[in-house]
Amino acid sequence: MSGTTQDGQRVRGAETAPAAASQPDGAQVARLLPMSPNILVDMNKALSDGTSGAAQLSKILKSDPGLVATILRLVNSAYFGLPYPIQRPTAAIAYLGVSEVHRLVVTASIINGFEKFDRGHLEAIWRRSALAAITTRELVRSRARWLSSSTAWTLGLLHDLGSLATLAVAPDALDRVTAYCEERQCLVAEAEVALGLPSATDFANVLCHEWRLPWTIEVAATQHRSATMSAGTGGDDAQLLTMVFAAVRLATLATRNLRPEIRERLGVEVRQLLGCGEEELWDILARVHAQREEAEACMQQLLPKAS
């Protein structure tokens, strides 16, 4: 299997493991997933109907105080670096705009929707995801400044919806995959195949469709392993997703204990995706390692405090 670079070239060797042996039942998976919150349903409807004015969105946001609290926590986090704290949804809409608030609603909905599951797994998932988000943002800022760094951050943060869905649908499978990866120093895809388990990206696909998530989030969540996009994907979206695919590999290299041949393969894939040489790759990876402390702080902000 191969992926695509930002110039449309194929990434040779991306996720060469065969497909997982067991395919999940989509309807059964959907029943086990958390339900999409009404606030996200209402906001999606307002956006599709063209009624997404500030007053209407503010009314929608006020219908779910718990989600608003998470949104405001995100808005006031170190990522946005606002000069003063924002206390009300109306202020968030006025300052950030409708598109940014919609991304925040999606992110907050995911965070809150899965917060009841195992804290240890949640911390591990969001820690990795935060590093991927920060890395995607920094790649955009350094290599493609015309792209939206906030969109890049969101796509990087939500790339691993498959692990969250697995935690909800088959937590024992996540335990087995985690243990196998640690023992064999391998990637998740290899563990899923060896254990005969469904792919987490299949679970992510069901979640994205059930929650009607934006298609760019769906691609990031379901295609980051193979680094592939549909033939019609182009322009800024294709370049953003390329940055996500590279960032996921960089974050994996920075956080996982992997066999040498896997590390080498991931490095080659990053170089192909970014069009960089080996020396630049090492410089980028050093910066990713330096961002792990920021990722830890981000994870702590994303998750509510343990009771």
The rounded distance, in Å, linking the Cα atoms of 307 and 301 is 15
For the chain, what is the mean pLDDT? 88
pLDDT given for residue 55 in this prediction: 78
Would you call 12 helix, strand, or coil by DSSP? Answer: strand
Taking a C-beta distance cutoff of 8 angstroms, is the pair 107, 100 a contact? no
Please give the backbone phi and psi of residue 10, each rounded to the nearest 5 degrees, phi first. Answer: -85, 145
- pLDDT, tens digit (0-9, with 9 covering 90-100), for 126-138: 999 999 999 999 9
The rounded distance, in Å, linking the Cα atoms of 123 and 291 is 17
- pLDDT, tens digit (0-9, with 9 covering 90-100), for 8-35: 444 544 544 444 455 667 788 899 999 9
The rounded distance, in Å, linking the Cα atoms of 174 and 197 is 10
Mean pLDDT, range 272-286, rounded to an integer: 97
pLDDT given for residue 18 in this prediction: 44
- Report CA torsion sign: 121, 125, 128, 134: negative
Between 304 and 262, residue with greater pLDDT: 262
Mean pLDDT, range 256-274, rounded to an integer: 98
Q: What are the residue ranges spanned by the domains of the chain?
A: 2-34+118-302, 37-113
Extended strands (E) in the chain: 2-4, 10-12
Q: How confident is residue 71, by pLDDT bands cut at 50, 70 and 90?
A: confident
Taking a C-beta distance cutoff of 8 angstroms, is the pair 210, 30 a contact? yes
Mean pLDDT, range 227-244, rounded to an integer: 87
Q: CATH top-level class for 2-34+118-302? A: mainly alpha
